[in-house]
Amino acid sequence: MSINAIDSQETRSPFGLIAKGSVVGGVMGYAAKHMLPLNESEMDDEFKGAMAIIREQSNKAKASAIDIIRNIKDKSLAQDTFIKMVDAEGTAGKKAVNMRKVIRDANLNHGDMVELKGIIASVNERAADMFKRCVKGFKSAVKDKRVTPAYIAGGAVLGFFVGLGQSIFRSSSNNNVA
């Protein structure tokens, strides 16, 4: 019985491995279209202009979040300190020194310090989250413009050669066993 099983293995067509390799390679090529990072030619002037617009809009979102806090009539100590920090940020070169001075002069207790850190994180997160989502969407749109058949064909050719290599390896190992 075991001889028949070996015989049936030897008579199997090598084209199954080649076809399977080509199909899997084509699917991997399609996946590569979306997974590969953008190259230099895709990050052209149009791409850089879009990134500048996205950065500008995320800065506007950050400024809007700051204005919401600025327009609160009865600000907490942490909110007031945050607005003073934003105003102190305007002087170039001494940004960190000025911000530390504002915090030190405010005499914040532990609870106010936690609130201040939360406000800073919230405002920064709002702008960063918007920027990341927009950049991800734009990069995805640029990748969608890639020529799909070229990626599929490239993957299929690579898969073909992998399947061919497997087929040759199997047939040579089967011949060595006999």
Q: Read off the pLDDT of residues 76-102 as tens digits, 9 standing for 90 and up.
A: 888 888 888 887 765 555 555 566 777
Q: Which of 137, 134, 40, 120 minimizes the C-alpha distance to 83? A: 120
Q: How many percent of the chain have pLDDT more than 70?
A: 83
Reading phi first (left if > 0) and then psi (alpha if -120 to 50, else beta), residue 91 is in: beta
Indicate whether this model's pTM tops 0.85.
no
Same domain for 81 and 138:
yes
Same domain for 90 and 126:
yes
Q: What is the mean pLDDT of residues 68-75?
A: 88
Residue 7 lies in a domain: no
Residue 114 lies in a domain: yes
* Structure confidence at residue 110 (pLDDT): 83
Q: Which of 105, 63, 58, 64 minimizes the C-alpha distance to 84? A: 105
Q: Which residues, at least 6 apart from 135, have a Cβ–Cβ distance to it below 8 Å?
A: 51, 54
Same domain for 138 and 113:
yes
Same domain for 174 and 133:
no
Distance CA 84, CA 104 (A): 12
What is residue 37's DSSP assignment?
P
Confidence of residue 136 (pLDDT cuts 50, 70, 90): very high
Which pLDDT tens digit goes with each residue over 95-124? 555 667 777 777 778 888 888 888 888 888
Same domain for 132 and 155:
no
Which pLDDT tens digit goes with each residue over 11-42? 567 788 888 889 999 999 999 998 999 888 88
Total domains, the chain: 2
Same domain for 120 and 53:
yes
Residue 124 lies in a domain: yes
Same domain for 141 and 151:
no
Range of the domain at 119: 43-145
